[in-house]
Amino acid sequence: MYEITFNLKKLSFDLTSFTEENYLKIIYLLTERNNGNEVSTNDLAEQTQTKAASVSDMLRKLADKSLINYKKYQGVTLTTDGEKIALSVIRKHRLWEVFLVNKLGFGWDEIHDIAEQLEHIDSEDLTNRLDTFLGSPKFDPHGDPIPNSQGQMPSVVYHRLSEAPLNKEVAMTGVSVHSPAFLQHLDKLQIKLGCTLKVLEISEFDKSLNVILNNDSSLFVSYEVAKNLLVK
């Protein structure tokens, strides 16, 4: 594995690998998904597609650097320093996604893996200039909020289309799955950020939804798709 040492001048420690940053980012996102609850080793193993023993080894390293709170067989939380790094990585990732879509013409289904590489560039000046160049966007192309330069994550309340009341128009504001296959499926359905959706009927058999898209066309959306569409 290629490793690089990060010189984080404002913090009192050094990171030694991209993997450590990725773990901190994943812990933050899983904590957010779990409504602030601790993250289990099994959740991390599933998310990183890594054996539980390897996850435990990494967690011990992060705990030794005071980046996480961790005790064996208990859940994991980020320390203040760990959260700062996680939010910095998330900020860079989402800003690069905006750049790739808005300035280079990539599709929203093409950008995640590229941004995964770019998020590890260690230059606060570059990140701030990128933010200014892009007009300080608040959301990335998937509808996810972008932390500001002070490391503050905007508070956003989402609902799932699968939970939307019947005959009430809602706006699609994000997705909870970023896989290319899912995003390409949405493209085929012509469902994109900002579109309006109105649920007319929910099938008792498979929970699929009959919806009106943009007050125009009618289409059927599976429950699996509907539960991963974020609306307000």
The fold of the 1-156 domain, in CATH, is Arc Repressor Mutant, subunit A (1.10.10)
**Would the pTM of this model clear 0.85, i.e. be above it?**
yes
Q: What CATH number is given for 159-231 in this structure?
A: 2.30.30.90
Q: What is the 3-state secondary structure (H, E, C) of the chain?
A: CCCCCECCCCCCCCECCHHHHHHHHHHHHHHHHCCCCCECHHHHHHHHCCCHHHHHHHHHHHHHCCCEECCCCCCEEECHHHHHHHHHHHHHHHHHHHHHHHCCCCCCCCCHHHHHHHCCCCCHHHHHHHHHHCCCCCECCCCCECCCCCCCCCCCCCEEHHHCCCCCEEEEEEECCCCHHHHHHHHHHCCCCCCEEEEEEECCCCCCEEEEECCCEEEEECHHHHCCEEEC
Q: Give the model confidence (pLDDT) of 183-216 as tens digits.
A: 999 999 999 999 999 999 999 999 999 999 999 9
User: What are the boundaries of each domain within the chain?
Assistant: 1-156, 159-231
Q: Give the model confidence (pLDDT) of 89-118 as tens digits.
A: 999 999 999 999 999 999 999 999 999 999
